[in-house]
Amino acid sequence: MATTSHLESLGSFIQASPSSFHAVAEAARRLGTAGFVELNESDSWDTGTGSFFVIRDGALVAWREPDGAEATTPYRIVGSHTDSPGFKLKPQPTTGYLGWLQAGVEVYGGPLFNSWLDRELEFAGRLAFRDGSTTLVRTGPMLRFPQLAVHLDRGVNTDGLKLDPQRHLNPVVGLGDVEQADLVGHLAGLANRSAEEVAGYDISVADTQPPAVFGLDDALFAAGRLDNLSSVHASLAAFLALPTSLDSIPVLAAFDHEEVGSDTRSGASGPLLSDILTRVSAGLDATDSQRLRAYARSWCLSADAGHAVHPNYPERHDPVNRPIAGGGPILKINANQRYATDALGAAEWARACDAAGVEYQEFVSNNAMPCGSTIGPLTATRLGIRTVDVGIALLSMHSARELAGASDPENLSRAISAFLAG
C-alpha cells in the first residue's frame, strides 16, 4: 500500500497544477526549495557542478551535474508531459443566450466529453499583457457544462449520449446580460490588471474536485490530470531524492502539448531537450563528437500513463497482457514503435525495478484497437538516445477525473529513482 506522504504530495501537486504553466511553476517551486538554480535561456551559462533548471512556457528541464562529470559522461533522462486533454478558452470568449452567461471554449486533445458534464470547473493558465509581462491566474469554481435533463432526452440511457462540441459544450459561467459581462476582464482583475492590458492568453479548463484516496483498504486514487501529472510528480519526487554522487547526469524533462502532437517549441518534438543537452555538454567543453559519444551511452525513460484492464470491457484489452491497478508500474510495448521500448530497454527497466524492489507489468494493445503514442518515440528520433516507455495503469483515461491504484504512483517513482541513479 502506498505511503500517505507520497499520495499527499501527489495530491497537493495536482491541486497546484490546473494548467501546464501552473504545473511548471509548482515543479520550479519544489526544485528551488531543494536548492536548484533557475537559468534563463537568453543568458550565458556558467554552470559546473550543481543543480539547475530551465522553464520554457509550459515545459521544464532540470538537471544535476555531479562532481567529476566530463565531456563524455552519459545522461539519464526521464521525460513526461504537463498537459492533459480538455478545453481552452477561445478569443472573444464572453457569450450568452437566454439569460445565461457562457464562455467560448475549444476542444484540446481528446477528452471524454461526458466526463466534463455537471462538474464545478475553473479557468486557469497564463495571461500576457501589452507591456510584455505575464502572470498565472486561476478562478476557482466558475463554470459548468450542464447536461440536458433526462425528461428532455428520454433515450439518453438507452440510445447513448451524443454531444456536438460546438453546440452542446458551451459552459455556463453566470446569469445576466452578455453585453454587461467581460470574462477577460474578470481574469485580468485576478491579477489586478484591466482587460485592455491583456494582449493574449493561454487559459485551460480544469476540474476543481480535490484528489481522493478511497475504496476497500484505501486501494484507489482518483484525481484530474493523472495523465500525465502522475508521471511528472513521480519523476520530480525521484529526481529530488537522488544522491549527490552519480556516474551520469540525471535530467528531468517535462514537456507541454503531448496531447496535441508535441509539435511546438515546448513540446517533445521541438528543440527544447536538444538545446539544453547541447549547452550542458558545451559547459563540459565537449566537442560535437564527444557529445554524441555521451548520447550513445545515455538512456531516456518516457513516463506516461497507460491503460489498466477494464472489468466491464475486458474484450477491449489484450487477452494475456492485462495490467491491473495496484499491480505496479507498466512497461509499454508496441511492435509498430508507437512506444519506443525494445528488448534492451525492457532489460534496463527490469534492472531498475529489481534495484527498487518494485514489481512491474507489461502492456500491449489489443490487435484490433489502435495504439496511442507518447513522447518516447519522439525523443528517441530527435536525439538517438535509447528510450523506454513506462507509466502507471489508469481507468477512465482522458476523463476529467481518472482512476489509479493508490500504490502505483509511489512505486513508479521508486523505479524512476533507481533508473536515474543508474
Sign of CA dihedral 193, 195, 197, 201: positive
338 and 236 belong to one structural domain = yes
Q: Does 170 share its domain with 241?
A: no
Task: Report pLDDT for 3.
Answer: 67
What is the domain-level CATH number for residue 123? 2.30.250.10
What's the mean pLDDT in 275-284? 96
**pLDDT band at residue 1, thresholds of 50, 70 and 90?**
very low
Pick from 142, 176, 207: which residue ends a domain?
207
Residue 417 has pLDDT above 90, yes or no: yes
Q: Are residues 367 and 314 in the same domain?
A: yes
Residue 215 covered by a domain: no
* Tens of pLDDT, residues 17-54: 999 999 999 999 999 999 999 999 999 998 788 999 99
Residue 174 in contact with residue 200, Cβ under 8 Å? no
Compute the distance between CA of residue 288 and CA of residue 216 in angstroms, rounded to an integer: 56
What mean pLDDT is predicted for residues 63-81?
97
How many structural domains compose the chain?
A: 2
Least confident of 4-8, 199-203, 293-297, 308-312: 4-8
| Residue 45 CB neighbours (<10 A) | 15
pLDDT at 239 over 90: yes
Q: Does any domain span residue 258?
A: yes
Closest residue by Cα to residue 250 from 69, 54, 21, 41: 69
Q: Mean per-residue pLDDT for 166-175?
A: 97
Domain annotation covers residue 128: yes
pLDDT of residue 4: 81
| 45 within a domain of the structure (yes/no) | yes
pLDDT at 282 over 80: yes
Least confident of 44-48, 172-176, 192-196, 213-217: 44-48
**CA pair distance 84, 90, nearest whole angstrom:** 17
Q: Which three cell numbers stand for residue 396?
A: 477512465
Domain span at residue 188?
Answer: 86-207
| Mean pLDDT, the chain, integer | 96
Segment 364-408, tens digit of pLDDT: 999 998 888 898 999 999 999 999 999 999 999 999 999 999 999
364, 395: one domain? yes
Question: Of 207, 234, 265, which residue constitutes the final position of a domain?
Answer: 207
Query: What is the greatest pairwise CA distance in the chain?
Result: 71
- Going by the DSSP 8-state scheme, the letter that residue 156 receives in this structure is H
Instruction: Choose one of 147, 175, 207: the last residue of a domain.
Output: 207
Do 172 and 314 reside in the same domain of the chain? no
- Do 338 and 379 belong to one domain? yes
Pair (54, 166) in one structural domain:
no
Instruction: Please give the share of the chain, as a percent, with pLDDT higher than 70.
Output: 99
In a domain, 213, yes or no: no
Please tell me whether residues 98 and 65 are part of one structural domain: no
Q: Is 47 inside a domain boundary?
A: yes
CATH of the domain at 263: 3.40.630.10
Q: Report strand pairing: 50-56 vs 59-65.
A: antiparallel
Same domain, 188 and 267: no
SS3 breakdown of the chain: % helix, strand, coil, rounded to 5?
30, 30, 40
pTM: 0.96
Residues 145 and 194 in one domain: yes
Do 420 and 242 contact (CB within 8 A), yes or no? yes
Question: Is-contact 234 53, C-beta < 8 A?
Answer: no
Give residue 149's pLDDT: 95
Q: What is the pLDDT of residue 245?
A: 87
Residue-level pLDDT at 129: 98
pLDDT of the residue at 370:
85
Distance CA 406, CA 4 (A): 10
Strands (E), 322-381: 330-332, 361-363
- Sequence-separated (6 or more) residues with CB below 8 Å from residue 211: 7, 10, 11, 14, 15, 221, 222, 223, 224
Binned at pLDDT 50, 70 and 90, residue 107 comes out as: very high
> 47 and 10 share a domain?
yes
* 93 & 66 share domain: no
Confidence tier at 414 by pLDDT (50, 70, 90): very high
**Considering the domain boundaries, does residue 94 fall inside one?**
yes
Give the per-residue pLDDT at 422. 86
Alpha-carbon gap, residue 27 to 21, rounded angstroms: 10
Please compute the mean of the pLDDT values over residues 250-256 and round it to a whole number.
98
